[in-house]
Amino acid sequence: MMKHFPTIPTQRLFTTLVLTGILSLGTGLTLLESASANSQDLSSSPTHQEKQQETRTNRLPPSLANAVRREVAHLTKIPVGKLKVIQSNQETWPNGCLGIAQPDQICTQALVPGWRIVISDGSKTWVYRTDRNGRVLRLEPGKISDAGTIKPTQIPTSELPAPLQKDAIFQAIASGGITGRTFQTTLLKDGRVLQSSVNPNGTTSPTPIKRISAQQLRQFQQLLDQQQFSQFNQLNYPAPNGAADYITVTLTSKSGTTRYADMVQNDLPESLRQIIQAWNKIASRS
């Protein structure tokens, strides 16, 4: 006896097949989109190897450090082992002479990637420019300086003052002493010098005390660049243990902040002393 199976109407069967096809197509598109997104995420995210390569690129190669140390040792007869790299920065120099041409020297005009390296023996510093491979070394003019006799410490980030306002070039905050008061002196781009007492709540009421000429302003800015104020960024030159009634001075430019106790000023590095002496003239009311 033959079994009779229920028949599905042709229209219903056609509709079912169409819906099944749409669902399959949608699933396929979703998988493709997911795969594409994952591929984009993988391609845009730096790999561990790339991160390691970037770290190595930003680190001063030991061969360059050794080349400059040997050069200083040859120049000064100081043993290489007593010379240390205290600062290094990647730079792009304007020509084949690294921006420091000798008399009658012809320099190639192509940009030269390289490094700026500061070497110290604990009492003096030497600032050198190099190309990428250390084949060309140039001592920056006037950059052999007294490193001072006070060993600096690091200023904690939490103790750094707020960044300078856009219209400010330099600022000094003096605090302590017998009165324990805090004074702030600021040099603006237009040459005005403002001074104020800092209230306990941190507010100030700046008062103009003088205006320096455009030439004086330019000379001070050039001094900051020439003496590389940035090399003292976040360095603190403290008073001797047990000292009292001294004033702590915090100096801030666009390139960094340094702090020192007034009683050790004569023991600071020569280049920093020059900046302080020039600043004191600017900040005086006379």
Q: How many domains does the chain have?
A: 2
Least confident stretch, 179-183, 199-203, 207-211, 241-245: 199-203
214-226 and 270-283 helices, crossing angle to 10°: 160
pLDDT tens sequence across 76-126: 889 999 999 988 999 999 999 998 877 677 888 899 999 999 998 877 888
* Residues across the chain: 286
Residue that terminates a domain, selected from 146, 165, 196? 146
Same domain (yes/no): 217, 200 = yes
DSSP H stretches of helix in the chain: 10-44, 48-57, 62-76, 214-226, 270-283
Q: Could you tell me the pTM of the whole model?
A: 0.52
Residue 123 tokens, joined: 């009492």
Q: Is residue 54 part of a domain?
A: no
pLDDT tens sequence across 194-217: 999 887 777 778 889 999 999 999
Same domain (yes/no): 254, 174 = yes
Range of the domain at 78: 62-146
Picking from 286, 263, 255, the residue whose alpha carbon sits closest to that of residue 174 is 263
Answer whether 268's CB lies under 8 Å from 189's CB.
no
Same domain (yes/no): 122, 224 = no
Answer whether 93's CB lies under 8 Å from 61's CB.
no
**Mean pLDDT of the region 179-207:** 87
**Mean pLDDT of the region 24-41:** 45
